[in-house]
Amino acid sequence: MAEESLIQRAARRAAAQAASLQSSRASTPAANPSSPIRGSTPLSLFERRDNTPDFPPLSQPRFPGSVRTFGERFARDSNLSVEGEALIHSSTPFSLSERQDNTPEFPPLGQPRFAGSVRTFGERLAKDGNLSVEGEAEFRRYYETLNKDERDTFGAFLVVQTKDLLRKLTDNVASSPKDVEYSPADSLVKISRKYVWAILCLPNLAYYTGTIEAAVISTLNIMKNKHVPDLDAPDYNNFLSWLGRQISLYRSIMKTHVSDSLKTRNKDKKNIAFVCAQILDHVDSSVNPNRAFYMRVAYMRYHLKKGHPVKAYWDKVDEEMEQLRNAGPTHLILGLEEVYNDDIATYGNPADTDYTIGESALPKDSPKWLSALSAQAAKVQRFSRKQGKKRSRQQRDEDEDEDEVIVEDDLPRPSPSLRAVSRSGSLAPVGADAELAN
């Protein structure tokens, strides 16, 4: 037997449901028309007064013109457009003078008609609807209007009012200026880029793919920069995104310098001292070359040689640093030393070059901003790749710039003479930068 198709299975189930419904109807006893059925109407029959008629007699008068007056009052008191006011007039039910004599009437306002049920039902809806105070008051006015025609007019008014508000909102959106690319104040741009470059070259930076933006902003606030947007300001997220963009671009420039050292045939340009000098040429002269930074750059070159995917490179760098840090209090330093010694054996000793090596990443005469930035660099938290895609602050995608053409930044570069001096410096002992490397 051929397998039953999906259409055939659906038809069979529909036929079975129809047969079941017909069978249940046949077995249900007929209702007794003489007995009242509770709940058969929206308004319970048991809540009526015995002397309250369902509808007034046909000849009973009913406030001639009251409905039109009611609608005109709402249209006059509300700020409706010409089209909205015309729609209110066209939707207002005709007055008594325009009715035919045989038109059924609802009772006048003074005559009770299920008032308790309507009010109770309305109050329950208002309570369950989570309305604002203004919305609840507006709805109460609606359900406490017992006259049907006036309530219909009130409903038409609310519909037109909503239509007017939506039209105004649409017009405002259409006429609003197009979004322009955010750019901080010039003074904030200059100082922010200075801090970004510096923090990437600090050897105590906890992670390269983490909350570096927060560290830079904290330093700006410590230095009382008045141009930094407040946390609740509209431009705060824009500044955060712009800052993230600068971090990505400068981090990529750093990686490019390291990558170029692997491609060149010039032995001198492969030396870690030359590579670090190329990177530090972008940075303020307060950030001096030191052994701990040399170890970090050698570690970057070590990971480049592993051939990681482009967008996974910095994540791999941080991942192994985190593993070393978690393995023990000295594992990170020891691991970086191993990589650094291998780098020296392969590409040459920086002590054999004309580049000086400072004794510490943060000398005692360091400016206040650099000390503050160094303290914040150690507090940077890492983002996993999964977390990085879910950041609510609209940060850039991880390493989104790695495939871009790197453009030259506009930071002032210190003179090469500040970096390349006579070989008079000496290597600092390992322990001198142990705290910074941690």
Query: Average pLDDT, stretch 157-174?
Result: 82
d(CA 70, CA 154): 8
The average confidence (pLDDT) of the chain is 75
Spatial distance between the Cα atoms of 258 and 122, rounded to a whole number of angstroms: 72
**What is the pLDDT, as a whole number, of residue 257?**
97
Query: Residue holding tokens 């050698």?
Result: 298
* Residue in the block written with tokens 């990443």: 361
Regarding whether 398 and 303 lie in a shared domain, the answer is yes
* Mean pLDDT value of segment 211-235: 93
For residue 8 the two structure tokens come to: 């055939």
Amino acid 116: pLDDT: 63
- Which amino acid, residue 116? G
Please indicate, yes or no, if residue 52 is contained in any of the structural domains. Answer: no
pLDDT for position 394 = 41
Q: Are residues 312 and 228 in the same domain?
A: yes
Q: Which residues of 236-245 are buried (b: 16+ CB within 10 A; e: fewer)?
A: ebbbbebbbb
296 in the same domain as 161: no
- Within-domain flag for 29: no
Closest C-alpha among 295, 270, 266, 290 to residue 280: 290
Residue 377: its pLDDT value, please? 96
Same domain, yes or no: 272 and 241: yes
Do 372 and 396 lie in one domain? The reply is yes
Whether residue 206 sits in one domain with residue 143:
no
The CB density around residue 430, as the number of other CB atoms within 10 Å, is 15
Count of structural domains, the chain: 2
pLDDT at residue 81, as a whole number: 73
Of the chain, the percentage scoring pLDDT greater than 70 comes to 64
pLDDT tens readout for residues 327-362: 988 999 999 999 999 999 999 999 999 998 888 888
DSSP sequence for 91-116: HSPP-GGGS-TT---PPPTTS-SSHH
Query: Is the residue at 179 inside a domain?
Result: no
C-alpha to C-alpha distances, 326 to 329, 331, 332, 438, nearest whole angstrom: 8, 8, 9, 11
- 266 shares its domain with 307: yes
- What is the signed CA dihedral for 347, 350, 353, 356, rounded to 10 degrees? 160
Quick one: angle between helices 148-175 and 133-143, nearest 10? 150
Q: Higher confidence at residue 428 or residue 382?
A: 382
Angle (nearest 5°) at CA 158 between 153 and 161: 125
Q: Which residue has the higher pLDDT, 115 or 263?
A: 263
Check whether residue 318 and residue 201 sit in a common domain.
yes
Q: Tokens standing for 358?
A: 């400072």
Mean pLDDT to the nearest integer, 408-413? 40
121 three-state secondary structure: helix
User: Which of these ranges, 26-30, 54-58, 196-200, 361-365, has the smallest mean pLDDT?
Assistant: 54-58
Q: Are residues 308 and 219 located together in one domain of the fold?
A: yes
Point out the domain boundary residue: 146, 173, 200: 173
Answer left, alpha or beta for residue 198, where phi above 0 means left and psi between -120 and 50 means alpha: alpha
Read off the tokens for 273.
């001292």
Q: What is the pLDDT at residue 141?
A: 82
| 266, part of any domain | yes
**CA pair distance 309, 306, nearest whole angstrom:** 9
d(CA 420, CA 352): 13
- Distance from C-alpha of 303 to C-alpha of 316, rounded to nearest angstrom: 8
Per-residue pLDDT, 209: 93
Out of 173, 207, 228, a domain closes at: 173
With b for 16 or more beta-carbon neighbours within 10 A and e for fewer, the 288-327 pattern comes to bbbbbbbbbbbbbbbbbeeeeeeeebbbebbbbbeebbee
Q: 407 or 287, which is more confident?
A: 287
Q: Tell me the mean pLDDT in the region 49-61.
A: 49
- Whether 401 is covered by a domain: the verdict is yes
The model's pLDDT over 136-150, given as tens digits with 9 standing for 90+, comes to 888 888 878 878 888
Residue 59, pLDDT score: 46
Is the domain of 114 the same as that of 210? no
Segment 306-330 mean pLDDT: 93
Taking residue 411's Cβ as centre, other Cβ atoms within 10 Å add up to 16
Residue 282: count of CB within 10 angstroms of its CB? 24
Domain assignment present for 16: no
- Tell me what the mean pLDDT of segment 158-162 comes to: 84
Among candidate residues 337, 342, 289, the one with its CA nearest the CA of residue 434:
337
Does residue 98 register a pLDDT over 60? no
Selection from 116, 96, 97, 98 nearest residue 56 by Cα? 96
Contact 301, 342 (CB under 8 A): no
Percentage of residues of the chain with pLDDT beyond 90: 40
Residue 115's contacts (CB-CB under 8 Å, 6 or more residues apart) are 146
Inside any domain, residue 126: yes
Q: Looking at residue 426, what DSSP letter applies?
A: -
Helix segments in 147-290, DSSP class H: 148-175, 186-200, 212-222, 236-263, 267-270, 272-280
What pLDDT sits at residue 150?
81
Question: Quick check: 86 pLDDT over 50?
Answer: yes
Q: In whole angstroms, how far apart are CA 74 and each of 31, 68, 87, 161? A: 46, 10, 12, 10
The highest-confidence range among 91-95, 99-103, 295-299, 329-333, by mean pLDDT, is 295-299
49 located within any domain? no
Rounded distance, CA 438 to CA 433, Å?
9
Q: Is the pLDDT of residue 29 over 70?
A: no
H/E stretch holding 373 reads helix 368-377
Q: Are the C-beta atoms of 391 and 245 separated by less than 8 Å? A: no
C-alpha to C-alpha distance for 205 and 376, rounded to whole angstroms: 8
> Do 169 and 191 lie in a common domain?
no
> Which domain range does residue 167 map to?
66-173
